[in-house]
Structure 1
Amino acid sequence: MNSPDIEKTQGSPSLDTSTHFELDKSTSASSSDATSLAKLSPITAAPKSKWQRCIAKLTKVEKSDIGPVPLEEREIITPSTTLHMLLMWFSMTLATNNIIVGSMGTVVLGLSFKDAAFCGVFGCLVGASIVGYMSTWGPRSGNRTLIAARYFMGYYPSKVCCILNIFTNIGYSMVNSVVGGQILSVVSGGHLSVMVGVVVVAVASLVMALFGMKIFQLYERVAWLPQLLVICVMVGSAGPHFNFDGHTAGTTAQVNAKRLTFFSLALSIGLAWAPLAADYYVYYPPHIKSWRTFLVTVFGAVQAMSISLLMGIGLGSIIASSTYYATKYGNTPGGVLMTAYDSLGGFGKFCAVINVLSLVANNTPGAYSMGMNLQMLGGIFGKVPRPISTTIATVIYAACAMGGRDSLYEVFKGFLPLIGYWVMIFVVIVLEEDFIFRRTTGYDWSAWNCRHKLPMGIAAAVSFLIGWAGAIVGMSQTYYTGPIAHMTGGADLGLWLAAGFTAVSFPPLRATEVRFIGR
């Protein structure tokens, strides 16, 4: 009889999952017996060509299993592994939506190119470092990020993170779909509506997400090249029109508030990837060095995010300083992008379509992880196969995109900081649990689904709420400004106060929990 402490989820092993990590002698013997029987059988399968084997591998849908990936299913480390890891992150983060975030610095916040570039690049560096750290948990545990979160936040509090991450990915996917729809509408001369363009982007993202992580990783190894070439075209076309001489208007306090707000926005780009980072490394073996995973991830992500962010800052400076371009294209995200192709005619439209493909590349991992996150909630959600849950998530964000297509900048400016708040709280808890409380005890990765072996989660839950209190008193948004943000001239301090409140409250609460509960 199964233990009542073990939740029954789709694809979860019924026995101790430690069998995933060891192959005993009986297993080897049975495999040998099976091989012997196969040799004696008069029925033999027709040999497949190398091309047929490749097609079969690519079209095989990944199994719906949220448990740890067994060692025998992990990839073999080769000399090209590091390059593949780097290209995956470079491709995923060299995204058109990051260009949109960059344009917010000069179009929405009114920063000069120099101010926005300085704050944006350093924000990307900090955000990519957090992503690099979180990605190391994939090879170490074989678990997706928010399954590994059970070891830091407890069984039930980690499910709150799953829900928040679903909303995070819905928001990002909605933005990507709207931007893609706007681009396709402009390229078609208005013959294709934005709503139809949204559907095109959403369906293309869904198709790739259904096949799972392996085919996605193969796609990302080549998807970066056309994206980078198009950005080079954008630099050559629009670069001479960038306004490098502008100045940020306002008092010293107002300027500093704008700088800090944009730094936090740029940081939030990386933070949005943190709850997903380990998902893309679960097929790598545990003996791969953590420092290697960290450095490759940071190097790939920070380069791509900085390139796309700087492109957006430059395009935004054109719109902010030119009445001609502002009148012709407006200040919508799709219009900002088309500014780069103003003099390129049909070739510019072709480049714009490549931008849409980059949005698909950026949307796919979110769609993939949303399906996994729904399964992680357990109960009825845990019984839904991943392809179905991924499809449901896609329908939801496509519908949201259609509803918010006319106010994209407002949506982006409103939800992006909210992502940063909760992810920063989550990351602080992971860091403190790992470095303060787990350095000597380590982790039993076979206990991923056993509640009585995981932390109770009381300390993490209380610290999470305390961190949100810090975010609320420090946030500065159009719909609410906290009292501390008021005192600093409107700077958005929510990210930093959330981190500080959590960092101070979690260690004593967790120490108390360990002392009286023991886990």
Structure 2
Amino acid sequence: MADTSDGSKSEKALDTASDHVLPATETGFVDEVLPLNNVFQRWSLRMEQKLGLEARGIERVPEDVRARKTVLGDYVQMGLVWFSANLTANNTMLGLLGPLVFYLGLADGLILAAFGAMAGAACSAYISTFGPISGNRTLVIARYTMGWWPSRLCVLLNIVIMLGYGLIDLLIAGQIMSHINGNGMSVVVGVVISAIITLAILLFGIRVFHVYERYACIPQLVVLFVAVGCAGPYFNTTEPSTGTSAVKAADRMSFFFLCMSGCLAWAPASADFYVYFPPDAKRWKVFMATTLGMGLSCACTYMVGVGIASGVANTPGWAEAYEISVGALLDQSYAPLGTFGHVCSCIVALGLISNVVPSLYSSALSFQLIGHWPAQLPRLFWAIISVVICTVCACAGRDKLFEIFESFLALIGYWTAFWITMTLEEELLFRRKTGGYDWTAWNDRKRLPIGLAALAAFLVGWLGATLGMYQTYFTGPLGKLVGDGIDLGLPVSSSWAAIVYPPLRWLELRFIGR
């Protein structure tokens, strides 16, 4: 697909960018380089011009419509995006799993949650660094490792991830709102309210998204500190992790990888929000901004969840609320504050929108990457479809949230881990010798890898994940080796893929040439 642009608009974008009054993502025009092949795309472009809705989908953002250089405020914005997106109740829910599922004590849970969050954030941050230098969305970048056709496996899995997180977020928000109302308001009503607000932000796209995320963390941070002060006295600081030495070792390892998976879930979307930043952005600064923003917010919320879960057994009000729903438990933790506590819970519920928006923004882009005809439909259409799917599924599965969440998270981490591993090997072992990446080839299958090596390594990685997993529905033979079960799916899958990919890729380049 050829890149063409309107010179006057590009010049205007560059002139505006040079002032650096706003972060880079808000200075450029997003309607510069778009295929106008059908009525849907022309309609989308008109909506952008009249209402400011983002028309661009998976099309590459060329350098001439981005800001000329990156300033400190741009890196701060990168960190704030992820800090706001993850300072939310769904991550608090992940922390609950430490004491409630793995029977970890408070000290063990806090340490593992913090280190797991930072490790997972660093992996996703590596993928995010491709956004400014390429101008391509994350799973378009995956084509340079996985190839034209195999990369669609990543696309389909990412849709599952992002829609799954979206429905979980909407459902938790609905549960909290329902409990605030004394269960007089249906969970479904709370889900629909959150979905409508999410859709409004999604339709406007990247500019409104960045502005929203810049400030959304402020009330969330306040109520998080309030939660620590209010619920902290009920945290169980004396109960240790339970089980034999082998069982405790297995549970600690499993919870660490689970916390890591929470951040790994963002890897297939992490570059999506950086494509409008200038290509001169320093990769190490992008990496650090993303790691700190994502890692610190996830660590904080995980640890609050661990603390709340540690007190459930010894706090009757919390135990009763937990029997109702996870959202009710989070609301009950503010109970000593009375009416103000309900206000805080309401802020927590609405704060989940910060997490839903980037999830469904990425899922809309992934729908376009499924094939030729989905790419003809604008991002706006797929954003609406994503919200509808999440809303319906959240309402239908509202009684099975905890089970869904527990099983869903681990599956996320498996494939993202070995995909990141292969991407790193592709860059370090093969691309440096061949002059790097030709980012203009993003939509030309004849210039992209065939992907046979990546597909084979991907399948080997899944085999390792299957043999090493420890889940309620299946435990692999490797997962049975320690204690009552240990989840080794993430390290086994990524290490197996790391061993298999380089020789297969060398053979692919040797005999196929790309």
TM-score normalised to structure 2 length: 0.89
* 1:486 corresponds to 2:473: no
**Partner AA of 1:85 in structure 2:** M
* 1:216 corresponds to 2:200: no
CA contact (8 A) 1:106 1:320 kept: no
Structure 2 residue aligned with 1:35: none
* 1:64 corresponds to 2:60: no
The number of residue pairs the alignment matches comes to 476
Q: Secondary structure at the match of 2:120?
A: helix
CA contact (8 A) 1:180 1:356 kept: yes
Judging changes above 3 Å, is the alpha-carbon distance between structure 1 residues 406 and 31 closer, same or farther for their aligned structure 2 residues? Answer: closer
What is the aligned counterpart of 2:155 among 149, 155, 162?
A: 162
Runs of 4+ more than 6 Å apart: none
Structure 2 residue aligned with 1:477: 471
Q: Secondary structure at the match of 2:164?
A: helix
CA contact (8 A) 1:210 1:368 kept: no
User: Structure 1 CA distance, aligned partners of 2:203 and 2:11?
Assistant: 31
The Cα shift of 1:75 comes to: 3.3
Structure 1: runs of 5 or more not aligned: 1-12, 33-52
Q: Secondary structure at the match of 1:280?
A: coil
User: Structure 1 CA distance, aligned partners of 2:76 and 2:232?
Assistant: 30
**Partner AA of 2:472 in structure 1:** T
Structure 2 residue aligned with 1:462: 456
Identity score, percent: 42
1:494-505 → structure 2 map (5 Å cutoff): 494-505=489-500
**Partner AA of 1:292 in structure 2:** K
CA contact (8 A) 1:425 1:498 kept: yes
Structure 2: runs of 5 or more not aligned: 13-28, 30-47
Deviation by residue 1:84-140 (Cα, 9 ceiling, x = unmatched): 222111111111100000011112221101111111111011101011111100001
Deviation by residue 1:123-171 (Cα, 9 ceiling, x = unmatched): 0111010111111000010000000111111011111111100000111
Compare 499-508 and 84-93 and name the one that shifted more. 84-93
Judging changes above 3 Å, is the alpha-carbon distance between structure 1 residues 322 and 513 closer, same or farther for their aligned structure 2 residues? Answer: same
User: Structure 2 CA distance, aligned partners of 1:239 and 1:415?
Assistant: 29
Q: Secondary structure at the match of 2:67?
A: coil
CA contact (8 A) 1:315 1:339 kept: no
The Cα shift of 1:330 comes to: 2.7
1:81-480 → structure 2 map (5 Å cutoff): 81-330=74-323, 332-441=325-434, 442-480=436-474
Larger Rg: 1
Q: Secondary structure at the match of 1:330?
A: helix
User: Structure 2 CA distance, aligned partners of 1:431 and 1:58?
Assistant: 42
User: Structure 2 CA distance, aligned partners of 1:423 and 1:328?
Assistant: 34
The Cα shift of 1:187 comes to: 0.7
Q: Secondary structure at the match of 2:145?
A: helix
User: Structure 1 CA distance, aligned partners of 2:318 and 2:356?
Assistant: 29
User: Structure 1 CA distance, aligned partners of 2:213 and 2:234?
Assistant: 32
User: Structure 1 CA distance, aligned partners of 2:450 and 2:508?
Assistant: 8
Deviation by residue 1:3-42 (Cα, 9 ceiling, x = unmatched): xxxxxxxxxx4x2x4x67xx9xxx68x989xxxxxxxxxx
User: Structure 2 CA distance, aligned partners of 1:360 and 1:133?
Assistant: 25
User: Structure 1 CA distance, aligned partners of 2:452 and 2:152?
Assistant: 13
**Partner AA of 1:467 in structure 2:** G
RMSD (CA atoms): 2.0
CA contact (8 A) 2:335 2:342 kept: no
Judging changes above 3 Å, is the alpha-carbon distance between structure 1 residues 59 and 318 closer, same or farther for their aligned structure 2 residues? Answer: farther
User: Structure 1 CA distance, aligned partners of 2:327 and 2:11?
Assistant: 57
TM-score normalised to structure 1 length: 0.89
